[in-house]
Structure 1
Amino acid sequence: MTLRLVLIRHAKSDWDNPLETDHQRKLNARGRRSAPLIGRWLAQKGYLPQEALVSDATRTRETFALLCADWPTLPVRFEPALYHACPDVMLRALRTAKAQTVLMIGHNPGIASFAAQLLQRACAHPAFDRYPTCATLVAEFDAATWADVNYATGTALDFVVPRELE
């Protein structure tokens, strides 16, 4: 069976409110424009997820809401462990997923490392190593369940950054 992961770094966030903690930061105007662009791109390409694992930070929650505003409703788990998670924590969370196509939204630097470690071959996109805000990787895995997925087993199907869709 083929499993598909849509791995997204949260959209651009706002640093203007000194009273907010990092966890509370909201999206800025650019982030609020970028997330729906990625959502439409995923729908047009046929990459709609059936389950979502999302960091519980404000900016990841907002990214998720804007991303999937026009999609059919999907189950979502807001995971505190995904807030600034390292690749091993992300992999543990992913291994609990049940759907064939899963969306995960997290933070850098962990998400860039996780993406790179999941793939058999590095993605050729010039922005892949930086994994800028709202960057989106779509990868496939030849595995029966997410519990069977390991590092260096994924194949990149697509990678996009919002600026390419504007």
Structure 2
Amino acid sequence: MKTLTLLRHAKSGWDDPVTRDFDRPLNAKGKRAAQAVGRNMRSLDLAFDHVVASPAVRVGETLDAVVAGYGRTLAPVWERRIYLASAATLLDVIHELPAGAERVLLVGHNPGLEDLVLMLVPEASEGLRALVEEKYPTATLAEMTFDIDDWSAARAGGAMLSRFVRPRDLDPSLGPDDG
């Protein structure tokens, strides 16, 4: 049995005068949301034996804020292919995960993460999939389990979505902005 937890980076600052999308930092709401997600991860006693993440600035800042709430160190392997990756590319990354890794955290971007969940989790699945179809917000965790022994066996329709936690589920003030 393998467990894959996906974390979309927290809300970033579009008003920041950076020249490249890759360098865009989190905004204040994003930092609060990532800390709340980290606290929730701690309360659920989630643990990971492998972390792989996009090297984008907003992902690194998301992980820093998550760690502040989580209270445990996360030592990601920075994987450039995750930056703005398609679901197919993300599945390639998953297929290459270390065989000994049982519980993996992958931190990246949309639409790839949302598309990956929709690819891996069968349509006839429980109600959580419908929430993903609706929207995969920033700083949201999606946990999937696979009845496989090696990551190379992960395939479309082969996962069960066991958890989908949005920041607004933890604190309503972290929900969508009005307006």
Q: TM-score, with normalisation over the residues of structure 2?
A: 0.85
**Distance in 2 (alpha carbons) for counterparts of 1:68 and 1:95:** 26
Alignment correspondent of 2:88: 88
Relative to structure 2, which stretch is displaced further, 69-78 or 104-113?
69-78
Are positions 1:151 and 2:156 aligned together?
Answer: yes
Residue correspondence of structure 1 range 1-166 to structure 2 within 5 A: 2-69=1-68, 70-98=70-98, 99-121=101-123, 122=125, 124-125=127-128, 127-129=131-133, 130-166=135-171
Alignment deviations for residues 61-95 of structure 1 (CA, whole Å, 9 cap, x no partner)? 11112212344334411111100000111011112
**Distance in 1 (alpha carbons) for counterparts of 2:131 and 2:30:** 17
Q: TM-score, with normalisation over the residues of structure 1?
A: 0.92
State the Cα distance separating 1:123 from its structure 2 match. 5.4
| Counterpart AA for 1:84 | L
Asked which structure has the greater CA Rg, the reply is 2
Aligned-residue sequence identity (percent) comes to: 32
Structure number with the higher strand fraction is 1
Structure 2: unaligned runs, 5 residues or longer? 172-179
Q: Secondary structure at the match of 2:137?
A: coil
Number of residue-to-residue matches in the alignment: 165
**Distance in 1 (alpha carbons) for counterparts of 2:60 and 2:18:** 19
| Counterpart AA for 2:132 | F
State the Cα distance separating 1:20 from its structure 2 match. 3.1
Alignment deviations for residues 15-64 of structure 1 (CA, whole Å, 9 cap, x no partner)? 11233311000000110001111112122223221211111100011111
Structure number with the higher helix fraction is 2
| Counterpart AA for 2:165 | V
Q: Is 2:9–2:109's contact at 8 Å kept on the other side of the alignment?
A: yes
Q: Is 1:11–1:63's contact at 8 Å kept on the other side of the alignment?
A: yes
